[in-house]
């Protein structure tokens, strides 16, 4: 199970063969509730991609944070109710932006805002997702297939209840509950966890501290290697 698989599922791009998640489908116009989003041209997207690339390339240490921003935007999806998912509702000052699991993501949003201002025709949800794709590439990860079409929330009231994202203090039943809600299998849960190969924990965000691997700015399979090869001891 490689990190590339984690990337594909992380971006919520690939169609799940068991169901079609219609809110992620792209066409000439993407619609959600009463809003309508005209898909930007490929030329616009590529200009935006290049601006993001230049920004993150010069500050590689922020790349994992961009992946986390996109993941936390997408990871609230509920398959049964068709709620949550990538819609950039965290850009509002209340709602999901204040959820504990999203602590510290305001820094990512603030850093990206000057670039977003240059590309007003691209939705925030698309923009954050594209930033993650670019960040993964900069960290020597794979070229992730990507397309536009994510419609932005229009107000903080579209936030979902707190608690939809994984809580590291809870065990396997909790993880299964979170990811099965999105339509993922146990195998896909394992694949997604490979994204922990990049970045590190911060006490003011997750309550934990330190990196998962010794190569925190390289998108590889070191997380899985460590799980298999290192000796682990239960602590209380």
- Alpha-helical segments (H) within 41-118: 42-57, 63-74, 105-117
DSSP 190-214: HHHHGGGGSSEE-TTTTS--EESSS
Please report where in the chains the tokens 């698989």 appear, as a residue.
Answer: 5
Contact 106, 94 (CB under 8 A): no
- Alpha-helical segments (H) within the chain: 3-10, 42-57, 63-74, 105-117, 124-138, 172-181, 186-193, 222-229
CA distances from 167 to 125, 142, 229 (A): 23, 27, 25
- Which residues carry out catalysis? 72, 212
Q: Tell me the β-bridge partners of 32.
A: 35
Q: What angle do CA 47, 62, 78 make, to 5 degrees?
A: 80
Q: Which two tokens stand for residue 36?
A: 């309508």
- Tell me the pairing of strands 200-201 and 29-32: unpaired
């Amino acid at each position: 199970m490689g990190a590339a698989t984690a990337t594909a599922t992380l971006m919520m791009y690939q169609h799940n063969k068991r169901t079609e998640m219609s809110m992620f489908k792209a066409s000439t116009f993407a619609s959600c509730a009463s809003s309508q989003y005209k898909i930007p041209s490929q030329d616009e997207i590529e200009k935006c991609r290049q601006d993001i690339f230049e920004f993150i390339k010069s500050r590689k240490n922020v790349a994992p944070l961009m992946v986390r921003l996109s993941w936390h935007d997408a990871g609230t999806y509920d398959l049964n109710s068709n709620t949550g998912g990538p819609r950039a509702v965290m850009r509002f000052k209340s709602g999901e932006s204040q959820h504990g699991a999203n602590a510290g993501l305001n820094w990512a949003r603030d850093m990206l805002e000057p670039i977003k201002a240059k590309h007003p025709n691209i939705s925030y949800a698309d923009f954050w997702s594209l930033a993650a794709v670019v960040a993964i590439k900069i960290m020597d990860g794979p070229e992730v297939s990507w397309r536009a079409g994510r419609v932005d929330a229009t107000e903080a009231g579209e936030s979902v209840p707190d608690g939809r994202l994984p809580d590291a203090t809870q065990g396997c039943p909790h993880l299964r509950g979170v990811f099965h809600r999105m339509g993922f299998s146990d195998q896909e849960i394992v694949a997604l966890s490979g994204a922990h190969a990049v970045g590190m924990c911060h006490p003011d965000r997750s309550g934990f501290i330190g990196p998962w691997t010794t190569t925190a700015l390289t998108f590889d399979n070191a997380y899985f290697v460590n799980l298999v090869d290192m000796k682990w001891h239960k602590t209380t």
